[in-house]
Amino acid sequence: MVEFDSKDFMSDFKALIECESFSQDPESLARSAQLVSRIGTGLLGAAPHIIETDSHPHVLWRFGTGPRKVVLIGHHDTVWPTGTLSEFPYSVADGVVRGPGADDMKGGLLIALYAMARLREQRGDLDGVSILMTGDEELGSPGSRQIIEDEARGAKAALVFESGAPDGAVKIARKGVAIYSLEVTGLAAHAGVEPEKGINATIEVANQVVKIAALHDPSVGTSVVPTVMHSGSTTNTVPAKAVVGVDSRAASVAEQERIDAILSDLSPTVAGAKVDVRGGINRAPLEEKMAMGLYARAQRLSAHLGHPPLRSVAVGGGSDGNFTAGVGTPTIDGLGTVGGGSHARTEHALQVWIPRRVELTTALVGELLAED
């Protein structure tokens, strides 16, 4: 069996973290995609395709020409603006790796690549495997969504390499995400001289916010949160325009669709006002039923490998695993690094978990392929 080479992994980990890849910096993303390509080519013996959408490069390895059996999903972009590295540099101390993207998710994408390199040595091929590292996940995957769905559709499994929970738990459920903008059109008038001639958009948007907030129901895993709001122009003018953003998350497809229908059907409460709801569902939920089969496999394999008991967790944030589950592909998430602090200066990954994740991914994909 090919042994895990921690020295090589850490060298590549350092290189990836020090290659900044802010989601909104095309030049840094291009450099990052080339580096991911070089590392992966060296490990896998094959060069990827680089697919670009709106200046965001996505790195795709596709082994074999037949249907996809297993799809490994990650991303190489980060939330960290270019230049962050000078104040938050790569470091390793007491088994803790720090730096922008350490946990979200440059370590995770390396785990996927190293695991597939190991599996290739064991099997001699990776036929039916796709590895996709996107460049716009932190923006909501607007350009890569179709690529993700096309690769995952019909596959036996999708494995997502976002970070695991702090105790090593994998993620078996993620809430679906929907983003809305409610726009109100009223009519301006002088607030002191003839307010009765106006149609007050502030009153209308306030009434709508109360209705929207009432949809929030944590008991069934549903959040509906009015967020940023703007209204009016001056204190002595009846407001003619108002807008409020809404972030909605739901644990099930049915609940997400129910909330979407209600928000899409909002009607004015102030005579003469017009209400326009824009936006909608961005990601369907990753429901537990889509992960439980893979989770059971992962638990069994983890125990066989002598790892700590593998636990699971459901989280509110979305990932590209929502897309793979949304096209009907069994999906398990959180197979990347174990650490914490994503999107914050406390971001870190624990070295002790890296070889465990490489071993688990190798075993999991190997078993899925062997069944065919």
Q: What is the DSSP string of 233-284?
A: S-TTB---EEEEEEEEEESSHHHHHHHHHHHHT---SSTT-EEEEEEEEEE-
Average pLDDT over residues 214-226: 95
- Gap between the Cα atoms of 34 and 52, Å rounded: 12
226: pLDDT strictly greater than 70: yes
What is the torsion angle, in degrees rounded to the nearest 10, for the CA atoms of residue 2, residue 43, residue 361 and residue 6? 60
Q: What value does the mean pLDDT of the chain take? A: 96
Q: Mark which of 238, 258, 283 sits at the end of a domain.
A: 283
pLDDT at 325: 95
- Say yes or no: 156 and 201 in one domain: no
Please state the φ and ψ torsions of residue 57, each to the nearest 5 degrees: -85, 135
pLDDT tens across 240-253, in order?
999 999 999 999 99
pLDDT tens across 262-274, in order?
999 999 999 999 9
* Burial class for 27, CB neighbours closer than 10 Å (0-12, 13-18, 19+): exposed
Q: Taking the CB of residue 337, how many other CB atoms lie within 10 A of it?
A: 30
2: pLDDT strictly greater than 50: no
Q: Mark which of 283, 308, 324 sits at the end of a domain.
A: 283
- Say yes or no: 137 and 188 in one domain: no
Contact (CB, 8 A) for 64 and 128: yes
- Say yes or no: 168 and 139 in one domain: yes
- Say yes or no: 116 and 211 in one domain: no
pLDDT at 263: 98
Average pLDDT over residues 208-218: 97
- Gap between the Cα atoms of 256 and 176, Å rounded: 7
Domain membership of residue 273 (yes or no) is yes
Structure tokens at 118: 């190991």
- Say yes or no: 227 and 306 in one domain: no
Domain membership of residue 1 (yes or no) is no
Domain membership of residue 53 (yes or no) is yes
Q: What is the count of structural domains for the chain?
A: 2
Average pLDDT over residues 280-302: 96
pLDDT at 109: 98
- Say yes or no: 29 and 151 in one domain: yes
Domain membership of residue 99 (yes or no) is yes
pLDDT at 4: 63
User: Percent of the chain, pLDDT > 70?
Assistant: 98
35: containing domain: 6-174+285-370
Characterize the bridge pairing of strands 70-75 and 56-62. Answer: unpaired
Domain membership of residue 83 (yes or no) is yes
Domain membership of residue 40 (yes or no) is yes
DSSP lists the bridge partners of residue 283 as 177
- Say yes or no: 25 and 168 in one domain: yes
Structure tokens at 249: 């998350």
Q: What is the pTM of this model?
A: 0.88
In terms of Cα–Cα distance, which of 63, 49, 55 is closest to 135? 55
Provide the CATH number for the domain around residue 96. 3.40.630.10
Provide the CATH number for the domain around residue 182. 3.30.70.360
- Say yes or no: 349 and 205 in one domain: no
Q: Is 256 left (phi over 0), alpha (psi -120 to 50) or beta?
A: alpha
- Gap between the Cα atoms of 33 and 24, Å rounded: 14
Q: Mark which of 283, 309, 333 sits at the end of a domain.
A: 283
- Say yes or no: 233 and 301 in one domain: no
Domain membership of residue 93 (yes or no) is yes
Average pLDDT over residues 301-319: 95
pLDDT tens across 72-128, in order?
999 999 999 999 999 999 999 999 999 999 999 999 999 999 999 999 999 999 999
- Say yes or no: 295 and 277 in one domain: no
- Give the helix ranges, DSSP H, for 47-173: 107-123, 145-152
- Say yes or no: 159 and 258 in one domain: no
- Say yes or no: 127 and 235 in one domain: no
Domain membership of residue 251 (yes or no) is yes
Which stretches of the chain are assigned E, i.e. beta strand?
49-53, 56-62, 70-75, 91-93, 96-98, 129-134, 157-160, 170-174, 176-185, 223-231, 241-250, 274-283, 312-315, 331-332, 339-340, 348-350
The set of catalytic residues is 77, 137
